[in-house]
Amino acid sequence: MSRRSSHIPSLPSLLERKISKTGQTRGADDDEIYQNRVNRNNTVLIRFPYWATCSTPPPNEKSFENGFIVLISPNEYFENPGNMQILAANGLALGINTLVFYETRTAWNAHDPDSLGWTPANSRVGNLGGQYVARVSATTATNEGAKIVRGFVTTSLKGAGIRVYEYASNTTIAQCRLQLEAMFWTCADSVDVAINNGMSQEGALARKEYIMQNCVNSGLLDLDRLMGARILNERHNTICPLCLEELSAQGFFNRMAQAEGREVLDLTITQLNLFHIQELRVGSYNHHPYNIGWGHHHCNVVVRDSGIQQTLSWINNVLQRNIAAGHFKSDSKEN
């Protein structure tokens, strides 16, 4: 943004945080190998079987901004000599950009890293500080069934990196955030909602004008593309990419309704969330402009990793079976 941006009023804090978080990966448990809620340009983790598919960064980018680490299973590393040639041919070296990743107790027992004199890795760049990392679940099947968590366990180094398909460069993250804010302002009631949540009318109008013009200047407000991507409707208002309902900007501030008797006091989920039009999947980098929008939380949950078109086909099949069985009439209304 230009110098003038410093004079543009700030967004309501909840909305500002929501847009900012779109540049972060989704959560991961502490016992997973992945980092929890970190920037999308962090070190990427590439499973060895997907090296050929995922080793190339997004189009027009020369490299991953914070490097990569290849994770190879003990079976792949120790029991298939041909994989050593593949590693060497691709400039992959154990302890430098490649780690043996233990996930099962069988592999741990068969190729005990302690007996090999190996140390767990503790760095994400350059020399990784070790040859392996381990995340083996606890089991009660044996007397030696304790959980095994080795490498990348300190507060500052919790998790080795991010899922490769969640990656986006800093430039792409900034573009996405700019376009996503514009999609807030294209909600029909955005100015009124911004005012109701702490902005002055003058400030809301000034920020909307500034953001929209910034999007135009950055090539991020191609209305035909946004409509074709199911992000805007023919009135150029923001819609949910799955159900196509126009969105109220108030949904960015409203918490999700909770079932009576099952309330969670610290619930932070709002009615509207980040929505990827083409789902995140291995082999693609789908966090980029014109593939991101806002959608209902419930619609996002339904789509999950299946993608919009596959989800719509499933919904259609469910409806047709229920109609055929007499359980649903297409013109019925809720009581």
User: Is the distance from CB of 136 to CB of 104 less than 8 angstroms?
Assistant: yes
Q: How far apart are CA 267 and CA 272, in angstroms?
A: 14
According to DSSP, the β-strands at 98-102 and 44-47 are unpaired
Q: What is the pTM of this model?
A: 0.90
- Tell me how far CA of residue 326 lies from CA of 74, 313, 318, 321, in angstroms: 54, 20, 12, 9
Alpha carbon separation from 135 to 103, 165, 221, 283 (Å, rounded): 5, 21, 44, 24
| CB-neighbour burial class of residue 270 (10 A; exposed 0-12, middle 13-18, buried 19+) | middle
User: Per-residue b/e over 283-302, b at no fewer than 16 CB within 10 Å?
Assistant: ebbbbbbbbbbbbbbebbeb
Q: pLDDT (tens digit, 0 to 9) for every residue of the chain, 335 residues total?
A: 444 455 889 999 999 999 999 999 986 677 889 998 899 999 999 999 999 999 999 999 999 999 999 999 999 999 999 999 999 999 999 999 999 999 999 999 999 999 999 999 999 988 999 999 999 998 766 566 789 999 999 888 889 999 999 999 999 999 999 999 999 999 999 999 999 999 999 999 999 999 999 999 999 999 999 999 999 999 999 999 999 999 999 999 997 554 455 444 444 578 999 999 999 999 999 999 999 999 999 999 999 889 999 999 999 999 999 999 999 876 655 44
Q: What is the spatial distance between Cα 310 and Cα 314, in angstroms, rounded to a whole number?
A: 6
